[in-house]
């Protein structure tokens, strides 16, 4: 009863601010007149509306006060107060501030007054705001401001109101939509800041009220339904302070103003940094979303504040005069950065979800009563868990996982073998390799690391820097990834569940998939993963002029990823583009759509090359690298295997496990469906594989030419073959039933039988002999442990290699560790002098071999087991080599009088070692002489002394040397300016491609009401 008596003393004046709100005013006015606790006085303030708003309000018998169109919200409220009579009981005089786009629940005013009576210290209370269109969409229940200026509600995106936030809560501020504020406190605090004519005036007032010793509460029992017309750009921001009438610009400007005007003075530098950093970050995000207007708003908002510093100074002075508590008193209401980060992640996930799985909701009017039991009227349906195994996709996926577990039983751990070399410990090593301008590999090289290193480094970074884990998971789950990726493509070709599932399973155990996993071909594995997605985007290849440019750039982005792992994709795409363009020109002539087709196809070929510079140019200048994939170069199976759609080589399926890939391509060539067209591409890829497979190339850590691996060409042929087979079989049953027996019945039966036999034979081989593959988990090291103490030590590693049925002696130069991922791809060319010295050792004539090797800084020779006994005897008998050890791993000799990596040779010819880091060094030179580096010559080697650069020349062996003409401190470094410049250029091109490929963002006014709520 006490509460009721106090309520009867209250005098409530409703102030409705109107600005082009005719769309919402009928329901807003109806909500005011239907309040359970009637307002004592109503007054509308119109700020220059040009629609029928004023007529609607006057028609409801509400007095209207007219102001200029550029008047702010705070100005309107203050003008309305000036017209009110002097209060007789200030403690019970309340102002109910209302927007013309916010309808109040009939109990709203009653619940607000009831809550304020229970909390006498509170001078302001606000309702729970829900969506205008969707009454269950929770918008706000109190509001704050984040440290970067973002409006903070503490709610999840599109949070559904289930009463989870019900109650009366102390908050920093409440929205001005439906806020009930005590008149004397409002006047005492100066009302809303006139510099905040629209947006953020509510947060600012709540902050000022808090530090003045008052409380602000949010009352969940009081409800309002807000359309947020200004924030969603449903109407223009016509206030005087709105530069260019852009709502986002005004909002960001006011957010920064609130933080700078109210924060503690000692926090201002940190606040400024956060505001500036977040504004730049959001501007970049808007640019990526192709919203340059919003990006400019972020930066212009700060500029409008910077040019008016007196506004901030005056605002801080005014607040100081009304402050009773420290500005830190509001700390509990400012969200922690951890909560802000979590909310940002949730918004990102929600944006992705809404894009992938858009929802459709039904419309309703805000005054309709809520049926809280409505969801109980619809019976819930729950599926039994075991029914999942009735789905072909789930059943086949489970079978694939079982097959992987058995097949990969030798790959539970760090992998090495075949083309795959040892993976570095962490992602940091891969990133360093990619960005470094000089690599301690072999005799040293300044060749840039290929971009696929950065891709692997990025994947490893996502796995908390575990590079070994990334490669292990990639190889382990590769068949399942092949299956899931191809399933997406095949689902667009056929609606038959079992057909597309079995087709994707066949793709996952195809000969090229098996061989690439067993032999460590990471390039082909990535190609197999990307091909289905490329095929989805490229399906309009023949009529490519109808494809949007955004889709072209998205496809170019995928092709960039494919190029950096396998340039065989580039070769095939180039061949197809040239042939199709010639056919189009001969068929259609020089007409407009031919140019459109040519431009789009040329973009697909060239854009990925530009996005992967400087590596792509390096590859093009040495054409044999077009055919080599990441890792060591080991032999493929040759043209005969390629003709059977099997790349061959170590770890490949045996010849008797014949896949149906080639047969399907042959059959599809005689089809009358779209399968024939697809088979043209597949047959072309298979033909290229046969031709290239007959060639031999050396490189990537192998000095002897070997048969070229054609995995990516065969992968293209495989996916085209399976797609053609699906098109043939999709409606074949219906066709065969209604036709007489002829060759189609025989071909169909033969195809099914061969496919079944291949699947059974392949699975049997994989779980038996196929599991014993070259790529496996092993702890075996090539170099003995004592040779791995210093990365600067060069060691010649001799090994017997069987090539083309002949045993040959090969070598490589190790730098204190076994070969790691990426090093074979950038290994420098062999030194002719070192190669000749090794040949002399092999034939027993290497009397001066130790002197040659020592001159190049090679300090050890290691013959890896199994060793050639004749070579071992020759080295033992030659002068200059001293046997250091002999173990089961091999034999090590030390090279006498070998030079160090960096040497100082004085005028008397005395050689002194200069200690060095991995690349450069800094030391004191006490006499004149020559500094000799036993690494490959590079124009980027530089030595600085006393502010000048020493002259760089080549010695008789082609090694870099510098003449020291006076004593002093010297600094040796490898100048990476060129590498950094090229990487910056690559970054610019890549970001540009990403921006062009990304979907364009939409402005707030372009969103429908259903999307907003």
> 614: cis peptide before it, omega within 30°?
yes
**CB of 697 within 8 A of CB of 706?**
yes
Query: Given the structure tokens 């087979």, which residue do they identify?
Result: 725
Instruction: Tell whether 422 is covered by a domain.
Output: no
Instruction: Tell whether 911 is covered by a domain.
Output: yes
Q: In what order do the strands lie in the sheet with 948-949?
A: 921-925, 968-974, 941-945, 948-949
> 514: cis peptide before it, omega within 30°?
no
Q: Look at residue 526 and tell me whether its pLDDT is greater than 50.
A: yes
> 866: cis peptide before it, omega within 30°?
yes
Quote the CA–CA distance of 679 and 539 in Å, as a whole number.
13
Instruction: Tell whether 238 is covered by a domain.
Output: yes
Structure tokens at 756: 């079944």
What pLDDT is stored for residue 372 in this prediction? 44
What pLDDT is stored for residue 1005 in this prediction? 57
Give the Cβ contact number of residue 463 at 10 Å: 13
Quote the CA–CA distance of 562 and 332 in Å, as a whole number.
51
- Single out the residue of 557, 536, 451 nearest to residue 489, CA to CA: 536
Structure tokens at 221: 């029992």
3-state secondary structure of 979: helix
Confidence of residue 594 (pLDDT cuts 50, 70, 90): confident
Helical residues (DSSP H) of 705-831, grouped into ranges: 711-730, 732-737, 743-767
CA 601 to centroid of chain Cα atoms = 26
pLDDT single digits (tens) 531-554: 999 999 998 888 898 999 999 999
| Average pLDDT rounded to a whole number, residues 594-618 | 94
**CB of 110 within 8 A of CB of 127?**
no
Give the Cβ contact number of residue 64 at 10 Å: 16
The segment with the largest mean pLDDT, out of 116-130, 156-170, 258-272, 882-896, is 116-130
Quote the CA–CA distance of 115 and 128 in Å, as a whole number.
13
Instruction: Report the CATH number at residue 161.
Output: 3.90.550.10
Confidence of residue 75 (pLDDT cuts 50, 70, 90): very high
Which residues neighbour 436 within 8 Å (Cβ) at sequence distance 6 or greater?
449, 919, 976, 979
What pLDDT is stored for residue 168 in this prediction? 94
Give the Cβ contact number of residue 948 at 10 Å: 9
pLDDT single digits (tens) 764-795: 999 999 999 999 998 777 787 777 666 678 89
The DSSP element (H or E) to which 968 belongs, if any, is: strand 968-974
Q: Could you list the residue range(s) of the whole structural domain that residue 859 is in?
A: 779-895
Q: Look at residue 849 and tell me whether its pLDDT is greater than 70.
A: yes
Are both 266 and 283 inside the same structural domain? Answer: yes
Quote the CA–CA distance of 555 and 415 in Å, as a whole number.
32
| Average pLDDT rounded to a whole number, residues 431-436 | 94
Confidence of residue 802 (pLDDT cuts 50, 70, 90): low
Q: Which of 354, 385, 415 is the last residue of a domain?
A: 354
pLDDT single digits (tens) 146-200: 988 889 998 887 788 888 899 999 999 999 999 999 999 999 999 999 999 889 9
CA distances in angstroms from 413 to 403, 408, 514, listed in the order given: 18, 10, 19
Using CB atoms within 10 Å of the CB of residue 137, give its burial: 0 to 12 exposed, 13 to 18 middle, 19+ buried: buried
Q: Which of 895, 918, 950 is the last residue of a domain?
A: 895
Instruction: Tell whether 477 is covered by a domain.
Output: yes
Instruction: Tell whether 122 is covered by a domain.
Output: yes
What pLDDT is stored for residue 808 in this prediction? 72
| Domain count of the fold of the chain | 4
Which residues share a beta bridge with 706?
A: 697
Structure tokens at 304: 């409008």
Are both 38 and 169 inside the same structural domain? Answer: yes
CA distances in angstroms from 896 to 216, 850, 885, 992, listed in the order given: 85, 7, 15, 55
Are both 177 and 304 inside the same structural domain? Answer: yes
Q: Look at residue 52 and tell me whether its pLDDT is greater than 50.
A: yes
Q: Which of 321, 354, 387 is the last residue of a domain?
A: 354
Q: Look at residue 380 and tell me whether its pLDDT is greater than 70.
A: no
Quote the CA–CA distance of 777 and 413 in Å, as a whole number.
5
| Average pLDDT rounded to a whole number, residues 130-143 | 91
In the 8-state DSSP scheme, what is residue 1003? -
**CB of 555 within 8 A of CB of 538?**
yes
pLDDT single digits (tens) 508-518: 999 999 999 99
Quote the CA–CA distance of 303 and 274 in Å, as a whole number.
15
Which residues neighbour 598 within 8 Å (Cβ) at sequence distance 6 or greater?
581, 584
pLDDT single digits (tens) 401-431: 999 999 999 999 999 999 999 999 899 999 9
Instruction: Tell whether 434 is covered by a domain.
Output: no
**CB of 148 within 8 A of CB of 212?**
no
Pairing of strands 41-47, 11-18: parallel
Q: Look at residue 1001 and tell me whether its pLDDT is greater than 70.
A: no
- DSSP string spanning 774-796? SSEE----SS-GGGGS-TT-EEE
What pLDDT is stored for residue 357 in this prediction? 46
| Average pLDDT rounded to a whole number, residues 481-493 | 95
| Mean pLDDT, rounded, of the chain | 87
Length in residues, the chain:
1013
Which residues share a beta bridge with 696?
A: 707
The DSSP element (H or E) to which 116 belongs, if any, is: helix 108-118
| Average pLDDT rounded to a whole number, residues 870-890 | 87
What pLDDT is stored for residue 449 in this prediction? 94
pLDDT single digits (tens) 718-771: 999 999 999 888 877 666 666 766 666 677 778 888 889 999 999 999 999 999
Confidence of residue 868 (pLDDT cuts 50, 70, 90): confident
What pLDDT is stored for residue 373 in this prediction? 45
**CB of 44 within 8 A of CB of 62?**
yes
Are both 784 and 753 inside the same structural domain? Answer: no
Confidence of residue 806 (pLDDT cuts 50, 70, 90): low
**CB of 518 within 8 A of CB of 418?**
yes
| Average pLDDT rounded to a whole number, residues 956-960 | 92
- Single out the residue of 166, 136, 62, 176 nearest to residue 366, CA to CA: 136
- Single out the residue of 914, 1000, 890, 1002 nearest to residue 964, CA to CA: 914
Q: Look at residue 999 and tell me whether its pLDDT is greater than 90.
A: no
Share of the chain above pLDDT 90, in %: 58
The larger pLDDT score, comparing residue 839 to residue 475, is at: 475
Which range has the worst mean pLDDT, 318-327, 483-492, 562-571, 970-979?
A: 318-327
What pLDDT is stored for residue 360 in this prediction? 43
Structure tokens at 438: 């000089």
Are both 723 and 842 inside the same structural domain? Answer: no
Instruction: Tell whether 186 is covered by a domain.
Output: yes
Are both 97 and 243 inside the same structural domain? Answer: yes
Are both 760 and 784 inside the same structural domain? Answer: no
**CB of 17 within 8 A of CB of 43?**
no
CA distances in angstroms from 939 to 227, 437, 853, 978, listed in the order given: 66, 12, 23, 11
Structure tokens at 576: 């197809």
Are both 90 and 151 inside the same structural domain? Answer: yes
Confidence of residue 945 (pLDDT cuts 50, 70, 90): very high
**CB of 433 within 8 A of CB of 439?**
yes
Are both 504 and 608 inside the same structural domain? Answer: yes
What pTM, to 2 d.p., does this model score? Answer: 0.81
Instruction: Tell whether 373 is covered by a domain.
Output: no
Are both 848 and 909 inside the same structural domain? Answer: no
Confidence of residue 383 (pLDDT cuts 50, 70, 90): very low
Phi, then psi, of 262 in degrees rounded to 5: -110, -20
In the 8-state DSSP scheme, what is residue 957? T
Are both 836 and 761 inside the same structural domain? Answer: no
Long-range contacts of 574-580 (CB under 8 A, 24+ apart): 574/605, 575/684, 575/688, 576/541, 576/681, 576/684, 577/601, 577/602, 577/604, 577/605, 580/541, 580/542
What pLDDT is stored for residue 935 in this prediction? 92
Are both 505 and 561 inside the same structural domain? Answer: yes
């Amino acid at each position: 009863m006490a509460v009721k008596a106090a309520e009867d003393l209250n005098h409530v004046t409703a102030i409705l601010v109107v600005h082009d709100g005719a769309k919402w005013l009928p329901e807003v006015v109806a909500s005011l007149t239907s309040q359970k606790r009637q307002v004592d006085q109503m007054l509308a303030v119109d700020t220059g509306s040009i629609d029928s708003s004023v007529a609607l309000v006057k028609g409801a018998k509400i007095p209207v006060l007219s102001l200029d169109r550029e008047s702010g919200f705070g100005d309107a409220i203050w003008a309305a107060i000036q017209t009110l009579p002097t209060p007789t009981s200030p403690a019970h005089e309340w102002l109910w501030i209302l927007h013309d786009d916010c309808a109040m629940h009939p109990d709203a005013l009653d619940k607000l007054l009831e809550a304020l009576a229970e909390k006498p210290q509170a001078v302001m209370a606000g309702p729970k705001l829900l969506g205008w269109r969707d009454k269950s969409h929770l918008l706000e229940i109190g509001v704050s401001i984040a440290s970067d200026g973002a409006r903070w509600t503490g709610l999840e995106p599109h949070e559904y109101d289930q009463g989870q936030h019900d109650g009366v809560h102390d908050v920093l501020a409440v929205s001005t939509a439906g806020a009930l504020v005590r008149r004397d406190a409002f006047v005492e605090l100066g009302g809303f800041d006139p510099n905040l004519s629209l947006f953020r005036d509510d947060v600012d007032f709540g902050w000022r009220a808090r530090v003045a010793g008052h409380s602000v509460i949010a009352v969940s029992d009081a409800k309002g339904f807000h359309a947020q017309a200004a924030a969603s750009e449903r109407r223009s921001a016509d206030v005087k302070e709105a530069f260019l009438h852009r709502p986002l610009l005004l909002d960001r400007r006011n957010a920064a103003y609130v933080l700078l005007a109210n924060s503690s003075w000692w926090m201002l530098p940190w606040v400024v940094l956060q505001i500036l950093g977040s504004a730049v970050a959001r501007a970049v995000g808007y640019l990526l979303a192709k919203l340059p207007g919003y990006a400019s708003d972020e930066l212009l908002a700060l500029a409008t504040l910077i040019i008016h510093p007196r506004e901030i100074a005056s605002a801080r002075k005014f607040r100081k005069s009304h402050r009773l508590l420290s500005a830190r008193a509001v700390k509990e209401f400012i969200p922690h950065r951890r909560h802000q980060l979590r909310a940002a992640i949730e918004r990102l996930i929600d944006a992705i979800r809404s894009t992938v799985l858009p929802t459709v909701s039904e419309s309703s009017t805000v005054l309709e009563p809520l049926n809280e039991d409505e969801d109980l009227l619809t019976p819930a349906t729950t599926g039994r868990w075991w029914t999942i195994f009735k789905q072909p996709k789930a059943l086949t996926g489970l079978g694939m996982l079982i097959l992987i577990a058995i097949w990969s039983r030798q790959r539970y751990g760090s992998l090495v073998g075949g083309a795959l070399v040892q993976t570095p410990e962490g992602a940091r090593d891969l990133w360093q390799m990619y960005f470094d301008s000089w690599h301690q590999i072999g005799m040293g090289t300044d060749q840039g690391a290929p971009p696929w290193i950065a891709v692997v480094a990025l994947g490893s970074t996502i796995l908390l820097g575990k590079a070994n884990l990334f490669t292990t998971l990639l190889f382990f789950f590769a068949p399942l990834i092949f299956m899931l990726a191809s399933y997406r493509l095949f689902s667009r070709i056929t609606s038959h569940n079992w057909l597309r599932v079995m087709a994707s399973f066949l793709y996952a155990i195809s000969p090229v998939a098996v061989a690439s996993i067993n032999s460590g071909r990471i390039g082909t594995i990535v190609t197999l993963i990307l091909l289905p997605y490329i095929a989805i985007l490229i399906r309009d290849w023949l009529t490519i002029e109808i494809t949007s440019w955004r889709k072209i750039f998205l496809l170019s982005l995928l092709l960039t990823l494919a190029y950096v792992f396998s340039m065989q994709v580039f070769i095939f795409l180039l061949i197809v583009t040239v042939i199709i363009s010639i056919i189009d020109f001969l068929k259609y002539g020089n007409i407009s759509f031919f140019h459109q087709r040519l431009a789009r196809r040329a973009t697909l070929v060239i854009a990925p090359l530009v996005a992967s510079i400087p590596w792509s140019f390096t590859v093009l200048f040495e054409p044999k690298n077009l055919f080599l994939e990441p890792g060591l170069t080991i032999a493929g199976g040759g043209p005969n295997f390629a003709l059977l759609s099997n790349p061959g080589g170590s770890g490949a399926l045996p010849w008797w496990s014949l896949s149906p890939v080639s047969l399907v391509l042959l059959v599809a060539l005689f089809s009358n469906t779209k399968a024939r067209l697809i088979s043209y591409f597949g047959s072309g890829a298979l033909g290229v594989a046969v031709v290239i497979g007959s060639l031999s190339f050396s490189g990537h850590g192998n000095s002897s030419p070997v048969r070229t691996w054609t995995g990516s060409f065969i992968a293209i042929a495989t996916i085209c073959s399976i797609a053609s087979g699906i098109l043939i079989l999709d409606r074949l049953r219906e066709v065969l039933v209604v036709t007489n027996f002829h060759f189609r019945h025989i071909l169909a039966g033969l195809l099914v039988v061969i496919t079944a036999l291949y699947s059974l034979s392949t699975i049997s081989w994989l779980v038996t002999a196929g599991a014993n593959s070259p790529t496996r988990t092993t702890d075996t090291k090539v170099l003995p442990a004592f040779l791995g103490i210093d990365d600067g030590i060069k060691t010649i590693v001799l090994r017997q290699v069987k090539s083309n049925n002949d045993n040959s002696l090969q070598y490589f130069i190790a730098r204190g560790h076994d070969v790691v991922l990426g090093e074979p791809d950038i290994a420098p060319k062999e030194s002719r002098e070192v190669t000749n010295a090794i040949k002399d050792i092999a034939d027993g004539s290497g009397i001066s071999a130790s002197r040659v090797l020592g001159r190049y800084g090679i300090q050890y020779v290691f013959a890896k087991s199994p060793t050639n006994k004749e070579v071992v005897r020759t080295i033992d008998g030659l002068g200059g080599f001293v046997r250091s050890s002999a173990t089961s791993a091999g034999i090590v000799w030390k090279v006498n009088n070998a030079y160090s990596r960096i040497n100082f040779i004085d005028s008397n010819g005395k050689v002194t070692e200069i200690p060095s880091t991995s690349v450069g060094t800094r030391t004191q030179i006490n006499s004149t002489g020559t500094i000799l580096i036993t690494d490959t010559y590079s124009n980027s080697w530089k030595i600085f002394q006393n502010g000048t650069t020493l002259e760089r020349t080549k010695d008789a062996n082609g090694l870099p040397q510098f003449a020291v003409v006076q004593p002093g401190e010297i600094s040796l470094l490898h100048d990476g300016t060129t590498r950094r410049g090229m990487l910056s250029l690559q970054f610019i091109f890549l970001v540009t491609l990403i921006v062009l490929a990304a979907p364009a963002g939409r402005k707030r006014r372009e969103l429908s009401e259903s999307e907003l709520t």
